[in-house]
Amino acid sequence: MKLCRFNIDRLGVVEGAMVIDVTPALELLPNCSYPLPRHDLFIEHLEEVKARARELMATAPRLPIDSVSLGSPVANPGKIMAAPVNYTKHLEEAREHAAIHHNNRIEEIRRVGLFLKANSSLVGAGEGVYIRHPGRRNDHEAELVVVIGKRARDLSREAAMACIAGYCSGLDMTTRGPEERSLRKSIDTYSVLGPWLVTSDELTNPHEIDFSLAVNGEIRQRANTRDLVLGIVDLLVLASSFYTLEPGDVLFTGTPEGVGPVVPGDVIVTDFAGIGRMTVAVHGARTG
Ligand code: MN
């Protein structure tokens, strides 16, 4: 099933070019009082929500997907984990062009591990990216994103895939410079998730996904997830050996070669096989 959040507080099932409004399915989520849980309730109760959504679909309103504004498919992730340089060719590219990483020492992901992006950087495709420091280089990074479905720590390789709720495409936007990754990649709107969540029962082989990213119609990145240095199982084993994974946590799996700058006015389109196309506008500095 493809599930989207749209028009701020609506839940939809995506079928072809239409979105079916199944928002009443969210009524089965528990009401919470302060202190609020530090994980995403929609993802925690995903199976029940899906079952209710299926019941509602027959009579629910249908809208053209182009007429809605898509929010992040996960509203409240407990954490946004991300893999640095995790495709062999991107590693070579980064080493060749030290300017891409501002002469930071490029290290193997096996030594560097993972990093976190601020939750406040998260947006959906419909919100777009707002360039915060237009005088600096701001790069696109297209990445497959894994959404965690179950609480897990110290995962074995055998158990890893069963903790996945589904997949999204993502943009790990980056301001280049000497600062720590987590600072440069945590600017408001610099984590784009979407266009919707494809549940793991529908997307059963994330290990061989063809994907591409284009800017203003020009292809900049084209790769397949089979070329990940650390694959999805490796990443989940690594992440769960440091963090407890919670429902709704998201994991950006790393970007392939072809990263490049974007400026206000650009339009980024990602296309992931089995997920779909995501269109993201790049805006100038946000006012107010
Ligand atoms: Mn990245």
Taking only the tens of pLDDT, the chain with its 288 residues reads 999 999 999 999 999 999 999 999 999 999 999 999 999 999 999 999 999 999 999 999 999 999 999 999 999 999 999 999 898 776 777 767 665 655 454 556 878 899 999 999 999 999 999 999 999 999 999 999 999 999 999 999 999 999 999 999 999 999 999 999 999 999 999 999 999 999 999 999 999 999 999 999 999 999 999 999 999 999 999 999 999 999 999 999 999 999 999 999 999 999 999 999 999 999 998 876
- Burial (CB < 10 A; 0-12, 13-18, 19+), residue 159, is middle
**Residue 139 Cα to ligand 1 middle (Å):** 10
**Residue 85 Cα to ligand 1 middle (Å):** 7
**Predicted pLDDT of residue 202:** 98
**Predicted pLDDT of residue 88:** 78
**Residue 41 Cα to ligand 1 middle (Å):** 26
- Give dist(CA 8, CA 10) in Å, integer: 6
**Residue 142 Cα to ligand 1 middle (Å):** 7
Q: Are residues 148 and 182 in the same domain?
A: yes
Q: Are residues 95 and 202 in the same domain?
A: yes
Could you tell me if 75 and 5 are in contact, meaning their C-beta atoms sit under 8 angstroms apart? yes
Q: How many C-beta atoms lie closer than 10 Å to residue 131's C-beta?
A: 23
Q: What is the maximum alpha-carbon separation in the chain?
A: 57
Q: Are residues 207 and 91 in the same domain?
A: yes
Residue 43, CA atoms < 13 Å, CB-side half-sphere: 33
Stretch (H or E) spanning 42: helix 41-44
**Residue 253 Cα to ligand 1 middle (Å):** 7
DSSP assignment of 230-284 equals: S-HHHHHHHHHTTS-B-TT-EEE----S--EE--TT-EEEEEETTTEEEEEEEE-
**Residue 4 Cα to ligand 1 middle (Å):** 23
- Give dist(CA 28, CA 25) in Å, integer: 6
- Considering 20, 51, 71, which residue would you say is the last residue of a domain? 71
Q: Are residues 88 and 48 in the same domain?
A: no
Residue 54, domain extent: 2-71
Residue 92, CA atoms < 13 Å, CB-side half-sphere: 5
**Predicted pLDDT of residue 102:** 55
Cis before 195? omega within 30: yes
Q: Are residues 146 and 267 in the same domain?
A: yes
**Residue 150 Cα to ligand 1 middle (Å):** 24
**Predicted pLDDT of residue 285:** 85
**Residue 200 Cα to ligand 1 middle (Å):** 22
Q: Are residues 264 and 134 in the same domain?
A: yes
Q: Are residues 157 and 125 in the same domain?
A: yes
**Residue 143 Cα to ligand 1 middle (Å):** 7
**Residue 168 Cα to ligand 1 middle (Å):** 14
**Predicted pLDDT of residue 108:** 65
**Predicted pLDDT of residue 111:** 81
Look at the chain and report how many structural domains it folds into: 2
**Residue 83 Cα to ligand 1 middle (Å):** 6
